[in-house]
Amino acid sequence: MFFYVEFTEENVMKYKKAVEDYGVVEICYNTYPRQQVLVAKRKIRECPHLYCLHPVNIPIP
């Protein structure tokens, strides 16, 4: 949903790696799970009331 590509296993692996390569960011959402934002992991930890992680993304190291 974040990258606006077709949901396939191949795309999941490709874009999951792309996010991991960013290193210090995580895909999360504010109020609506289908409207993701890319936010620094530190900011997510500091403002848990503003940013929600999808269950597959928990925990943030």
Label residue 21 exposed, middle or buried (CB < 10 Å: 0-12, 13-18, 19+): exposed
Mean pLDDT by 10 residues, the chain (61 residues): 81 83 82 84 88 68 49
The CA-based dihedral angle spanning residues 57, 35, 37, 54, taken in that order and rounded to the nearest 10 degrees: -10
3-class secondary structure, 13 = helix
Q: Is the pTM of this model over 0.75?
A: no
pLDDT at 48: 87
